[in-house]
Structure 1
Amino acid sequence: MTVEHRLGTEHGRPGYDSAVPPVLRIRPGTGERIAFETDDAVYAELHDHGDLAALEAPINPVTGPVYVEGAKPGDALAVHVHEIRLGDYGWSQSLPGAGALQHRMPDHVVSRRIPIDAAGVHLTERHVVPARPMIGCIGTAPATGQNSTVMPTTALGGNMDLTDVAPGATVYLPVEVEGALLSIGDIHAVMARGESSFVAIEAAGVAVVSVEVIPDAALRAPRVETDEEWIFVGLGDPVQESVRRGYEDVFDHLVDERGWDRMDAYAVMSALVHSELGGPTGSEAPDPLHPFRAVGAVTLHRLPKSVL
């Protein structure tokens, strides 16, 4: 695959911030491919030292930002994911105070280096599974302040950790600043939906994408399009609020954007639009004393294209 632009890990940093100068400017809609290289330095440090307090590498750095010519507030970026290339290994790690198994795992870092080769991802000596690479962290910059690349997920994206953000998918991200300022990071070799463990099979890699601008899209949260589905992201606290907002977005898409009868939309959604928990990072900033404790919820609402 031809790649017109390559961004190395030297352009990686934590956070989405409009004050950070863009490292690349592109014209949207040209089909030009951009390769975002991401690193695994924090996981290598944890493997070697086993101490969160001794980390020097940032958690979830994102590579960028990329300035998209013509993108303005109220628009959306359509980010087409063409390819994700993985290295020779990834990491499985249990972090103290993080994830749904924190009361079952030890109260210190446990790390395993996971080989990746043509046979697949070697989780254990007898469990080798196909790689299903995905992008965990993708988003645009806020008009003010800085959005996290760990938690929470925001209306502009961030650490969504969605298995659907994989080759063949298109991610739609709201734009809040001129040029959008797109950044990408946190590649996984394979991840169970929801990432309840908080850390899946993390890996260094390269995500190859192209970008279009959707004028006046007025999205209030990211969306993902695959060959089979439209996936609407809900954000809110508590989880019921996240479900309501994401489900409303599906309904409004059918009624307002596609002209469906309201009762038709209601009946089809009740029967066929599945809701589920998204990534583990929540929709509100966590307690500073417990930085891995999610507040609120990310939910997903799956509209099959077969009904459209």
Structure 2
Amino acid sequence: MAATHYVARDRVHFTWDVRHEPAVEIESGDVVIVRTRDVSDDQITPASTTATLSTLDWKRVYPLAGPIGVRGARPGDTLAIEILDIHTEGWGWSAILPGLGLLADDFKEPYLRVFDLSDGDAAHFREDIAIPIEPFFGTMGVCPAGAVERPVMPPGTFGGNMDTRQLARGATLYLPVQVEGALFSCGDAHAAQGDGEVCVTGIEAPMYAALRLTLPHGPKIPAPQFLTPGPLVPRVNAGGWYGTTGVGGDVYRAAQDALRAMIAHLSTAYGLSGEDAYVLASLCVDLKISEIVDAGQYIVSALLPLAVFRNGARGAA
């Protein structure tokens, strides 16, 4: 019979490292209950203001829960992580951080928003704007082969800081094991995020989760893969979308142009400041590659879910 294990909130580490001792060791098929800190490692609180951002100790950013050792896991195996349950602890935050984000050159000043998530349903961005709470871990990974004090960012074939918002309750993530015991860790939890996490934060939040880790029999995989239980955006898909586009020979620049057009739309149609429009886009706008086969002219779309607006959607001004 599968056992249940617990990783305490204080069992954290800040790098990928093969020398980290497991917080717990489990058998394949066991369940692990984890409580994770927010990405700031509790430096940002519900009482914080924008001024708090200038005092952050960046060595404490990205605390990861774990690692979790899986007995019998060997390099070349596949580790399956089922997200059985995940929910917030009632609050979260989003920020513009100078030097980071898709439009770092456009937004050079810090900006912080703190959200009450206690109703468990939505983050109320404004009285007429509600973003559905759909929690997931922005970072889930096994230890990379040979890692010694490797930073949490960027991600890799081992997983890591993937920020894949579809890895919510009911999803299963598959990771290629790279070291003995797998040494799985997770953290950087988000209560909501758009595809792209364009301003570099989702709704960052401390989190509770129940995960089942197994070593399924099957083919080797070269990089993370995942399975979702249903629609990719179940809570907003039926409400329609408003899209802006970026066009050009560089996908990254096209994404920037699509986002700039979306920020302009949010400011004009809904009266948001540039900062609030940028943050809102990070929380609910999805960046999509609409076309990548016409050599030299690629199209990236920024898609705004209209269901987040309580007083009705608005088209181009």
**TM-based fold match above 0.5:** yes
Distance in 2 separating the partners of 1:191 and 1:109: 19
Aligned pairs for 1:7-26 (under 5 A) are 7-26=7-26
Residue matched to 1:262: none
Contact 1:41-1:57 at 8 Å conserved across structures: no
Q: Deviations over 1:220-267 (max 9, x none)?
A: 10001112589xxxxxxx979xxxxxxxxxxxxxxxxxxxxxxxxxxx
Can you give the 5+ residue segments of structure 1 that lack an aligned partner in the other structure?
231-237, 241-274, 278-308
Q: Following the alignment from structure 1 to structure 2, what is the Cα–Cα distance between the partners of residues 15 and 45?
A: 18
Q: Which residue of 1 aligns with 2:187?
A: 185
- Distance in 2, matches of 1:45 and 1:136, equals 18
Q: Distance in 1 between matches of 2:123 and 2:56?
A: 29
In the alignment, residue 148 of structure 1 is paired with which amino acid? P
Aligned-pair distance for 1:96?
Answer: 0.1
Of residues 120, 142, 148, the one that matches 2:151 is: 148
Q: Is the 8 A contact 1:50 1:110 kept in 2?
A: no
Render the CA deviation track for 1:27-84: whole Å, top value 9, x for unaligned.
Answer: 112xx32112111262753545434564166211110011101111100100000111
1:108 shift after superposition: 3.3
Whole-angstrom distance in 2 between the partners of 1:39 and 1:125: 28
Task: Say whether residues 1:207 and 2:209 are aligned partners.
Answer: yes
Distance 2:219 2:58 in 1: 39
SS of the equivalent of 2:191 reads strand
Equivalent residue runs for 1:198-277 within 5 Å: 198-215=200-217, 217-228=219-230, 276=288
Equivalent in the alignment of 1:306 = none
Q: CA RMSD in A?
A: 2.7
1:81 is the counterpart of 2:83: yes
Unpaired runs of 5+ in structure 2?
A: 233-249, 253-286, 290-317
Distance 1:276 1:221, change over 3 A: farther
What is the aligned partner in structure 1 of residue 38 from structure 2?
40
Instruction: Give yes or no for the alignment of 1:4 onto 2:7.
Output: no
TM-score (norm 2): 0.66
Q: In the alignment, which residue of structure 2 is the partner of 1:101?
A: 103
Q: Distance in 1 between matches of 2:98 and 2:213?
A: 38
Alpha-carbon distance in structure 2 between the residues aligned to 1:100 and 1:142: 27
Alignment of 1:52-201 (within 5 A): 52=54, 54-55=56-57, 58-105=60-107, 107-118=108-119, 119-146=121-148, 147-149=150-152, 151-201=153-203
Following TM superposition, by how much is the alpha carbon of 1:139 offset from its aligned partner in structure 2, in angstroms?
Answer: 0.3
Secondary structure of the 1:71 match is: coil
Cα offsets for 1:79-137 (capped at 9, x unmatched): 000111201110011100111232333x3321111111325212223312221111100
Q: Quickly say closer, same or farther: Cα 1:15–1:195, change in 2 above 3 A.
A: same
Paired residue type of 1:9: R
> Residue 50 of structure 1 aligns to a residue in which SS?
helix
- State the Cα deviation string for residues 134-180 of structure 1 (Å, max 9, x = none): 1100000122124432x211100000000111111000001111110
Does structure 2 conserve the Cα–Cα contact (< 8 Å) formed by 1:50 and 1:108?
no
How far apart are residue 216 of structure 1 and its match? Answer: 6.5
Q: What TM-score do you get using the length of structure 1 for normalisation?
A: 0.68
Query: 2: distance between equivalents of 1:27 and 1:239?
Result: 43
CA contact (8 A) 2:134 2:192 kept: yes
CA distance, structure 2, for counterparts of residue 177 and residue 41 of structure 1: 25
